[in-house]
Chains A and B, each alone.
Chain A
Amino acid sequence: KNQVEQSPQSLIILEGKNCTLQCNYTVSPFSNLRWYKQDTGRGPVSLTIMTFSENTKSNGRYTATLDADTKQSSLHITASQLSDSASYICVVSEVSNAGKSTFGDGTTLTVKP
């Protein structure tokens, strides 16, 4: 069964600090991996999309990495802001099966002043 596991489950950091969120997956055959940000009470919004050949992709203060060999991804947030407080969800899609996506349970990040 395809699985996506995220760690830590929750994280509290001080404003201005950096943090790294982890995502391990067993989805095969791999199509792409996406990180989404979900603010409380809102729908998830895409941060990055990574394919097999991409190792690193940045979106402002967000940098995602992918190691397709070990099936691991990370999301690094630099110089955190209060607005970064949200749930971050890792989603991995298959090549076949209508591009079916497997969702991680998310990491809840709280940034404190």
Chain B
Amino acid sequence: NAGVTQTPKFQVLKTGQSMTLQCAQDMNHEYMSWYRQDPGMGLRLIHYSVGAGITDQGEVPNGYNVSRSTTEDFPLRLLSAAPSQTSVYFCASSYRGAGELFFGEGSRLTVL
């Protein structure tokens, strides 16, 4: 099993550009979530999903959109990138919301 796969691993954007961070899991987990991690800070929840077709906002949702059309995929969309969105983004999945989280390796985004 691949676990949780994130692409791309690195991305540089210009202010105002849009892009999608991809996240896929092959463990048939119902719960998936996106976090951002800024230098020296903890993980902050952006959006999460408890199953296909169901998404909800986390702690820092502004500037990000998500959708969950399948159990396996949970893409994160940046609508109009801003320098404040420069961060490392982690996707995670678990069997259920309070279960053990399995994280991807991260996507490092720089917005110029």
Contact = CB atoms under 8 A, between A and B. Distances in A.
Nearest to B50: A98
A79 interface: no
B31 A49 contact: no
A94 interface: yes
Interface residues of A, number: 25
B90 A99 contact: no
Nearest to A44: B103
B106 A32 contact: no
A34 interface: yes
Contact of B97 (A45, A89, A93): A93
Contacts, number: 58
Interface residues on B, range: 20 to 34
Nearest to A91: B101
A30 B12 CA distance: 40
B106 A41 contact: yes
Interface in A47-89: 49, 89
A22 interface: no
Residue among A31, A91, A95, A99 with the highest chain B CB neighbour number at 10 A: A99
Nearest to B51: A98
Contacts of B44: 103
A93 B97 CA distance: 8
B100 A43 contact: no
Nearest to B44: A103
B101 A101 contact: yes
Residue among A31, A98, A100, A105 facing the most chain B CB atoms (10 A cut-off)? A98
B99 interface: yes
Given A43-B104, A46-B102, A99-B98, 9 more contacts: A36-B101, A41-B106, A42-B106, A43-B103, A93-B98, A98-B48, A100-B97, A101-B98, A105-B42
B79 interface: no
Contacts of B103: 43-45
